[in-house]
C-alpha cells in the first residue's frame, strides 16, 4: 500500500467538529549524521470522546509526535489546535501520561494525585477529597497513604494516570503508558483505561507500539511508517463498546490485529534493517 500523509476523510467521524487537530506536522533534528526528519507531514484529528491510537515501529517518531502535541517540543512546522486554540507550549487542555515511571517518589499516592490541584491553588481539604475520587477511579482505594516505592509498576502507572486526570484535561495524551509492564497487567490496565474513558467520556490519544493494546482500546488506529514518520493508514476499529480485555479472543479482534500487522510488518522490517546497518551489521 502506498504511504499517505493525509487522513482519509472516510475514516473521520462525520458531523462532529474535532477537539484536537494535528495539521501537517514536520519535525526534524540536527544530528552528527545530518538532519533527520522524525515526523513528516502528519495530519489527523480526534473527535470529542474519541479514543485514537497511534502505532508505529520503534524510531518512527511516535514520541516526537507525543512531545509536539503535548507542547514539550517546539521548532516544528505545522499546527496543533485544541478546540480551535493553537497549542504553543504545554496546554491546560492536554494531560500527559509518560512512558517512563513518573510518580514523585517523595509524595504519597494522595499527594501525587493532588499535585496539579495544589499547583492550581486549591485548598488542601478540597484537593485531598478530589484526589480521593480519582484514586478510587483508578482502583487504588486503600493505598492513599502509600509511597510509590511501596507499589507495583502497574499501580504506579495508575497513580500517574489519576494525577493527570485530576487536572481534568480535555484530552488524555498517553505515550506507551504500559510499555514497561507484563502482558497480563497490560491487558488488565487496558480494561481500567476503557472503564475510565467510558465513565468520563474522556478524549484519549494513545501512542503505542503494541497492536493488541491499540485494537483493544481505540476507536481508530493510525499506523505510521518507519522513519521519516508518515501516516500510512487509518484503521477504524468497529468493535462494540463497552469493551474489556475479553475481546482479544474474538475473531474480529484477530482480523484487526492481522490487518495492522500487515501494515506494520514492512515498516518494522525496514526499521530493523536500518538499525542493523547503523550498528555495522550489514555488509
Binding span for other proteins by CB under 8 A among 22-30, 55-63, 87-95, 258-266: 87-95
Q: Which of 18, 57, 61, 148 binds other proteins (CB under 8 A)?
A: 148
Q: Is 215:250 a contact under the CB 8 Å cutoff? A: no
Q: Which of 18, 56, 61, 95 binds other proteins (CB under 8 A)?
A: 95
The CA distance from 202 to 168, in Å, is 9
For residue 107, state whether it binds other proteins (rule: CB under 8 A).
yes
Q: Which of 78, 147, 154, 179 binds other proteins (CB under 8 A)?
A: 147
Binding span for other proteins by CB under 8 A among 53-61, 102-110, 127-135, 247-255: 102-110
**Residue 16, phi-psi category: left (phi > 0), alpha (psi -120 to 50), beta (remainder):** beta
Q: Which of 105, 242, 254, 262 binds other proteins (CB under 8 A)?
A: 105
C-alpha cell at 91: 496546554
3-state helix/strand/coil string of 29-47: EEECCEEEEEEEEEEEEEC
Q: For strand 231-236 and strand 203-208, is the pairing parallel, antiparallel, or unpaired?
A: unpaired
Binding span for other proteins by CB under 8 A among 5-13, 70-78, 230-238, 247-255: 70-78
Q: Which of 25, 39, 47, 96 binds other proteins (CB under 8 A)?
A: 96
The CA distance from 139 to 233, in Å, is 35
- In this complex, which beta carbon is closest to other proteins, that of residue 203 or of residue 225? 203
Amino acid at each position: 500500500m502506498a504511504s499517505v500523509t493525509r487522513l482519509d476523510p472516510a475514516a473521520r467521524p462525520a458531523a462532529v467538529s474535532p477537539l484536537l487537530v494535528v495539521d501537517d506536522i514536520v519535525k526534524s533534528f540536527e544530528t552528527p549524521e545530518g538532519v533527520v526528519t522524525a515526523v513528516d507531514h502528519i495530519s489527523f484529528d480526534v473527535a470529542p470522546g474519541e479514543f485514537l491510537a497511534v502505532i508505529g515501529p520503534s524510531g518512527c517518531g511516535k514520541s516526537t509526535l507525543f512531545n509536539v502535541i503535548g507542547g514539550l517540543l517546539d521548532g516544528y512546522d505545522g499546527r496543533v489546535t485544541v478546540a480551535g486554540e493553537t497549542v504553543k507550549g504545554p496546554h491546560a487542555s492536554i494531560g500527559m501520561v509518560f512512558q517512563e515511571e513518573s510518580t514523585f517518589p517523595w509524595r504519597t499516592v494522595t499527594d501525587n494525585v493532588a499535585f496539579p490541584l495544589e499547583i492550581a491553588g486549591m485548598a488542601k481539604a478540597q484537593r485531598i477529597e478530589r484526589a480521593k475520587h480519582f484514586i478510587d477511579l483508578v482502583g487504588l482505594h486503600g493505598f492513599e497513604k502509600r509511597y510509590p516505592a511501596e507499589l507495583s509498576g502497574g499501580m504506579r502507572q495508575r497513580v500517574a494516570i489519576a494525577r493527570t486526570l485530576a487536572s481534568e484535561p480535555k484530552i488524555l495524551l498517553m505515550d506507551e503508558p504500559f510499555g514497561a509492564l507484563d502482558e497480563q497487567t497490560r491487558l488488565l490496565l487496558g480494561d481500567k483505561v476503557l472503564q475510565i474513558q467510558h465513565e468520563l467520556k474522556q478524549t484519549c490519544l494513545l501512542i503505542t507500539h503494541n497492536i493488541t493494546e491499540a485494537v483493544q482500546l481505540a476507536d481508530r488506529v493510525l499506523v505510521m511508517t518507519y522513519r521519516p514518520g508518515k501516516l500510512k493508514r487509518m484503521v477504524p476499529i468497529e468493535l462494540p463498546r463497552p469493551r474489556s480485555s475479553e475481546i482479544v479472543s474474538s475473531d474480529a479482534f484477530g482480523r484487526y490485529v492481522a490487518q495492522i500487522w500487515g501494515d506494520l510488518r514492512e515498516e518494522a522490517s525496514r526499521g530493523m534493517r536500518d538499525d542493523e546497518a547503523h550498528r555495522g551489521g550489514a555488509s
